[in-house]
Amino acid sequence: YIARLAASGRYGSAPIVTEVEALRAFWPAEAYHQRYFERHPEQGYCQAVIAPKMHKLLQAFPGKLRG
C-alpha cells in the first residue's frame, strides 16, 4: 500500500518514510483505557479528535468494523 501511495503522487515528491514491521510484542492497555471513546463520548478530546476520525473511518469503510 505504501508503494501504491508513493506511486500515486498524492503526497507530492516527498518520500513516504513510514516503515511496516512484523509485530514483536503486544501489551494490552489497562482496563480503564479500553473502549474509552465509547464510554466517554462527551470528553473534549473525544469530540475534537476521535469523533471526526471515526466519522471519516466509517465513511471510508462502511460495514467493515466490528462493534
What are the residue ranges spanned by the domains of the chain? 23-62
All three cell numbers of 13, joined, read 515528491
Cα(46)–Cα(60) distance, integer angstroms: 20
Question: Cell 516503515 appears where?
Answer: 19
Give alpha helix (H) positions in 1-67: 2-8, 36-39, 44-45, 51-60
pLDDT tens over the chain, length 67 residues: 889 988 998 888 888 899 999 999 999 999 999 999 999 999 999 999 999 999 999 999 988 877 6
All three cell numbers of 21, joined, read 514491521
What is the Cβ-side half-sphere exposure of residue 23, based on CA atoms within 13 angstroms?
A: 3
In this prediction the pTM is: 0.54
